[in-house]
Amino acid sequence: MSLIKSISGIRGTIGGKPGDGLSPIDIVKFTYAYCATLPTRKPQPNGEKYKIVVGKDARLSGAMVENLVIGSLMACGVDVVRIGLASTPTTELAVTFAKADGGIILTASHNPRQWNALKLLNDRGEFLTAAEGQAILDLAETSVSLMLTTSGTSPNTTTPTSIWMPLWLWKPLMSRLSRTLISRLYWTQSTRSAES
């Protein structure tokens, strides 16, 4: 298993333990960190909702990753423009055409089919700056790792309280979510094979 974190996003092989591969937990925490840094990158003085474009390539894991990303965005109160199958340049242009506040491209480009990735865009449909990308990486690592090690007490004020939940609730929730998504992905692949 492999997980690569960089300022342009994260990519890795699907599955495995969190932090070792691109697991559902990694997808949720990096999507959350992307949302949590939106006000820093693009303040909304009148409290308008943010809008994010999500596009994906044709990888088998695309539907699972897309559902996790979109669900996480919606849980953060973000409006989502789901464009489905789209190339990287198409998704970049969709951000500007939709007048969105950013975008997430689900593609591992040249990597083998067992890989997938979240590539993060700003409101101009461009990849984030090094500082913006580093802020997301830092938040994803500190807020969620603190949350996972804190049991029964509220985290300190530097940790977003909206993502905190007790460890006894978080682990079974993520475990069940992982099993459900993997079984649905397997069922979808089995159904497609049977139809061929």
pLDDT tens-digit profile of 46-55?
Answer: 888 999 999 9
pLDDT score, position 107 = 94
Give the single-character DSSP code of 15: S
Listed in sequence order, the residues at least 6 apart from 3 whose beta carbon sits closer than 8 Å to its beta carbon are 10, 11, 12, 13, 16, 19, 20, 21, 22, 26
Residue 24: enclosing H or E segment and its boundaries? Answer: helix 24-36
Pick the closest to residue 130 from 6, 27, 5 (CA basis).
Answer: 6
* CA–CA gap between residue 189 and residue 113 (Å, rounded): 14
Cβ(146)–Cβ(138) under 8 Å? no
| Displacement of CA 176 from its chain's centroid (Å) | 18
Active site residues per annotation? 109
The DSSP line for 116-183 is EEEEEE-TTSSBPPHHHHHHHHHHHHHHHHHHHH--SSPPPTTS-TTS---HHHHHHHHHHHHHHHHH
pLDDT at 186 over 80: no
pLDDT score, position 103 = 97
pLDDT tens-digit profile of 4-25?
Answer: 888 778 999 998 888 888 999 9
Residue-averaged pLDDT of the chain: 80
pTM confidence score: 0.74
pLDDT score, position 19 = 84
* CA–CA gap between residue 185 and residue 180 (Å, rounded): 9
